[in-house]
Amino acid sequence: MQPTPDEARGDAAQDAPWSRPECQAWTRTLLLGTCLLYCARVSMPMCAAAMSQDFGWSKKEAGVVLSSFFWGYCLTQVVGGHLGDRIGGEKVILLSASAWGLITAATPLLAHLGGTPLALMTCSRVLMGLLQGVYFPALTSLLSQKVPDSERAFAYSTVGTGSQVGTLVTGGVGSLLLEWHGWPSVFYFAGGLTLLWVYYVYRCLLSEKDLLIVLGALARGRPMSRHTKVRWGQLFRKPAVWAAVLSQLSSACAFFTLLSWLPTFFRETFPSSKGWVFNVVPWLVAIPAGLFSGFLADYLISHGYRTITVRKFMQAMGLGLSGVCALGLGHTSSFLQSVAFASASIGLQTFNHSGVSVNIQDLAPSCAGFLFGVANTAGALAGKGGHNGSPEAGFPLPQSPIPAGSSRPAQGRWGEGAREFPWSLGVPPRLRCGGTLAELPHPRSQCPCHSPRDPQDPPPLREHRAQAQGPHQVGCSIRWGF
Longest dimension (CA), the chain: 86
CA distance 270 to 300: 41
d(CA 266, CA 287): 22
**pLDDT tens, position by position, for the chain (482 residues)?**
455 555 455 555 556 788 888 999 999 999 999 999 999 999 998 899 899 999 999 988 988 998 899 889 989 999 999 899 888 899 999 999 999 999 999 999 999 887 789 999 999 999 999 999 999 999 999 999 899 888 899 999 999 999 989 988 888 898 889 989 999 999 999 999 999 999 999 988 887 666 666 666 666 655 444 555 667 777 788 888 888 888 888 888 888 778 767 877 887 888 887 777 887 888 899 999 999 999 999 999 999 999 999 999 999 999 999 999 999 888 888 999 999 999 999 999 999 999 988 888 888 887 888 888 988 887 777 656 544 433 333 333 333 333 333 333 333 334 433 433 333 333 333 323 322 222 233 333 444 444 455 555 555 555 555 554 444 443 333 333 32
Q: What angle do CA 28, 23, 35 make, to 5 degrees?
A: 25
